[in-house]
């Protein structure tokens, strides 16, 4: 399972990570987020050695969401060495997501 990250833990868990981190920005009221969430979990389980996967609830962590200019969710951001290395906006089927994430998994 992927962990929930907050404004308070984002820097430590995501920006200072040795491994690339896939951040799933979501909110409870977002239908497509609920659809893509189990797919993100699967990708997390299948790539534990290469990629950390975390979730940020944008309702509760506005600071992080606004810092990265999130205006559409689900938004999947890959952070590498503290920088945004890839952004994927909107829910996608698993093969399409794996394709987009091919540099990291």
Partner 1 sequence: MTDTQLVIIGSGPAGYTAAVYAARANLSPVVIAGSVTAGGELMNTTDVENYPGFPAGVQGPELMESMREQAEKFGAEVIYDDVATLKLEPGAHQIETALGARYTAQAVILATGSAYRELNLPNEKKLSGHGVSWCATCDGFFFRNQHIAVVGGGDSALEEATFLTRFASKVTLIHRRQELRASQAMQDRAAADEKLEYLLDSEVTEIHGEDSLSGLTVRNTVSGETSELPVTGLFVAIGSDPRTSLFGDQLSLRSDGYLNVEGRTSKTAIEGVFAAGDVIDSVYRQAITAAGSGCSAALDAEHYLADLDAVTKQAEAVAAAEASQAPAPIAS
User: Which residues participate in catalysis according to the annotation?
Assistant: 30, 33
Output 75 or 101, the one with its CB closest to partner 1.
Answer: 75
23 binds partner 1 (CB under 8 A): no
Least distance from C-beta 105 to partner 1, angstroms? Answer: 16
85 binds partner 1 (CB under 8 A): no
Contact range with partner 1 by CB under 8 A, out of 2-10, 44-52, 63-71, 78-86: 63-71
**Cα–Cα distance for residue pair 84/39, rounded to 1 Å:** 21
Q: Which of 21, 51, 53, 75 binds partner 1 (CB under 8 A)?
A: 75
Give the 3-state DSSP-derived string for the chain, with helices as H, strands as E and coil as C.
Answer: CCEECCCCCHHHHHHCCCCCEEEEEECCCCHHHHHHHHHHHHHHHHCCCCCEEEEEECCCCHHHHHHCCCCCCCEEEEEECCEEEEEEECCCCHHHHHHHCCCCC
For the chain, how far is it from start to end, CA to CA, in angstroms? 17
28 binds partner 1 (CB under 8 A): no
- Give contact residues for partner 1 (rule: CB under 8 A): 27, 29-33, 35-36, 39, 58-59, 65, 69-73, 75, 87, 89-95
């Amino acid at each position: 399972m992927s962990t929930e990250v907050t404004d308070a833990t984002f820097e430590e868990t995501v920006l200072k990570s040795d491994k690339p981190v896939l951040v799933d920005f979501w909110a409870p009221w977002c239908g497509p987020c609920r659809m893509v969430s189990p797919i993100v979990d699967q990708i997390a389980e299948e790539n534990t050695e290469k990629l950390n996967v975390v979730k940020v609830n944008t309702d509760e962590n506005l600071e992080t969401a606004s810092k990265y200019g999130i205006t559409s969710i689900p938004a999947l951001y890959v952070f590498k060495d503290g920088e945004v290395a890839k952004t994927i906006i909107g829910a996608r089927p698993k093969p399409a997501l794996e394709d987009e994430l091919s540099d990291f998994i």
